[in-house]
Amino acid sequence: MAGSTSCAHAKSTFTRTVVSAMPASHMASQNWEDFNYPPLLNLWHYAPHELEQGPRFVARTLHAALLLTMLALVCNLLVNIGVVVAGFSHAIHIMYAFFNLLLGTLVGMWTTMGCGYKGMATNKPKLMRRYLWVWGLLTLATAVASLLAVINFNGWGRVASLLATPADPTVQSFWVVGSVIESSVWTLACVVSTVAWTMIFRANRDGPAALRWYAGSRR
C-alpha cells in the first residue's frame, strides 16, 4: 500500500518535472502587469491570444462559463422586474436579483480571472485548486437555479408550475417565456461551467500536458 502510494507520488512528481522542463512560451509571453479586464475597470489581465492553442481554448471556455452565468443573472433580474411590475411578486425580489447579479459577477470574475485563468496560464496548483473549490460550488448553484423555482429564481420547476396553474394570460405568457429563457441560459451555463471545471481539474492533476491535449483534440 505504502509502496503504491510512493510510486504514484513519484510518477506525479516526475510528470510535472518533465512537463515543466518543456517549452512554456504561453506562460512567458503573458504580461501580468497589463490589467485589461473587465473593460473600463481593468482589474485583471486576460489575453487568451497570447497563449498557445490548447491553453487558449481552455481560457476561452472559462470565460464563456463566466459570461453565461452573468447572462443568466441578468435574465433573472429582468424577469423579476417584469413580474413585480405586473403585481405578481414582491419588490424585494428585484433587490435579491440585483444583489445576486452583483455578488455573482464579482465572485465569478475573481474566481475565473484571478484563480482559474492565471493558475492555468502559470501552472500554479494553488490557484487552480482555489478555482476548483469556488467554481465547483457556483456550478452546483447554477444547476439548482436551472431546475427549481427557489425564491426569485425561475428554473424549469417554475415553468412547470406556471403551466399547471393558470393565471392572467398576459402576465403568465411573459413569466413562462421569461422562465424558459432564464432556465435555458442557466442550463447552458451549468454545462459549460462543468466543462470548464473539468479542464482545470485535468490541468491541476496532469500539468501543462493536459492543456496540449485540447490543442490536439481540435485539429
Owning domain of residue 125: 14-217
> Does 71 fall in a domain?
yes
Report if residue 181 sits inside a domain.
yes
Say if 9 falls within a structural domain.
no
pLDDT confidence tier of residue 216, bands split at 50, 70 and 90 = low
Please tell me the total count of domains within the chain.
1
Q: Which range, of 116-120, 138-142, 144-148, 207-211, averages the lowest pLDDT?
A: 207-211
Residue with cell 492533476: 205
- 116 located within any domain: yes
Distance CA 83, CA 76 (A): 11
Residue 7 lies in a domain: no
Please provide residue 37's backbone torsions phi and psi, each rounded to the nearest 5 degrees.
-140, 140
**Domain-located, residue 200:** yes
pLDDT (tens digit per residue) in 21-60: 334 444 546 788 899 999 999 999 999 998 999 999 999 9
Q: How confident is the model at residue 87 (pLDDT cuts 50, 70, 90)?
A: confident
**Nearest-angstrom CA–CA distance, 84 and 93:** 8
DSSP for 97-161 reads: HHHHHHHHHHHHHIIIIIIIIHHHHHT-HHHHHHHHHHHHHHHHHHHHHHH---TT---HHHHHH
pLDDT digits (tens, 9 = 90+) for 56-76: 999 999 999 999 999 999 999
Give the pLDDT score at 29. 65
Which three three-digit cell numbers place residue 185? 441560459
